[in-house]
Chains A and B, each alone.
Chain A
Amino acid sequence: MSVKRDSFSVSITVGAYGGAFGAAAVAADFSVLQACLLSLLLFSGASQFAVVGVIAAGGTAINAIATSTLLGTRNGLYGLRLAPILKLRGWRRVVAAQITIDESIGVALAQKDEAEMRRGFWYTGFGVFIFWNLFTLAGALGAQAIGDPSAWGLDAAVPAAFLGLLWPRLSDRKSWVLAGFAILLALSLTPFVPAGIPIITCTLLAIIIGWRK
């Protein structure tokens, strides 16, 4: 029973956050359709916000794609971790891949046995998918109705959303040090290189800091 409850509460809370995504996307001049397609097809919060954030900052499409994909690499590792538990073939593996995100793996790994893990994965994956997409549409339509994004604080909602995603990851000294250097590097590059480049360059910091134990 509790796996259902966990899945549902995670789905609705995280899903609601899709509203912020829909609004942010439209505020950054994406159409309502494009915002909804990102939630349906890309379906990974941080990567979706990255596409919007890079374009809003004036970056190119390639830059947005690269930043978003690098943020999504963790989903690949989640899949790697789950594959021996899910044991799927054919179209089921395709569906499972699409809903392999922070939340579905988080609930799955919190369960005790493999049957519960599988249930946690599917319930949470589908639950978040449904609510995330509904709220994206609502947020996008809402933002479209209100006009000037700055007057409603939507331009600050984007970095605040990133901050909310970052916060739980600042779990040790190494990540704080990395965050500090990333701010310095990104801002000091800003006046000298095309928009979007300062963001992706910070990947190098992760490699340098993660290289040594």
Chain B
Amino acid sequence: MSTFWIAVIGSSALAFAVKFIGASVPETFLSNPRILRINTLIPVALLTALIAINTFADKTQLVLDHRALGIAAAVTLLIAKAPFPVVVVGAAITSALAYRYI
């Protein structure tokens, strides 16, 4: 089985398990404030790392390329309070232009 299939099936199965367990365990369990705090911070840490890696890394090398301009456009659009789809499309267009002309 390829990496892709293992990733698709494994992540889907665990995602459902997490959702189902949450709906089934008693509420007192896991409702400790420290766990709740860490749980809200985990997405911040992982999403930030994913942004950094998907923008500035190519496998195990650090690179500065067209994607950096795309992300800069996304940041600008978010500061300007642009809606979600505009942010993604704006980043894609900027990056595509940079890829083509720089």
Contact = CB atoms under 8 A, between A and B. Distances in A.
Looking at chain B's contact residues, the main secondary structure is: helix
B51 A162 contact: yes
Interface of A: 13, 16-17, 20, 29-31, 34, 37-38, 41-44, 46-47, 49-51, 53-58, 60-62, 64-65, 67-80, 82-84, 86, 88, 93-94, 96-98, 100, 150-167, 169-170, 174-175, 178-179, 182-183, 185-187, 190-195, 198-203, 205-207, 209-211, 213
B45 A72 contact: no
A203 B46 contact: yes
Interface string B68-80: 0111011100100
Nearest to B3: A61
Contact of A53 (B50, B73, B99): B50
B15 interface: yes
Nearest to A182: B48
15 contacts: A38-B12, A55-B4, A64-B7, A76-B19, A79-B24, A98-B16, A100-B22, A162-B54, A163-B51, A165-B47, A182-B48, A187-B56, A190-B61, A202-B49, A210-B37
Contacts of B33: 213
A71 B59 contact: no
Interface residues of B, number: 77
A91 to B, nearest CB: 12
Interface in B43-93: 43-57, 59-62, 66-67, 69-71, 73-75, 78, 83-85, 87-93
Contact of B34 (A16, A64, A211): A211
A165 B42 CA distance: 13
Contact of B5 (A34, A44, A211, A213): A34
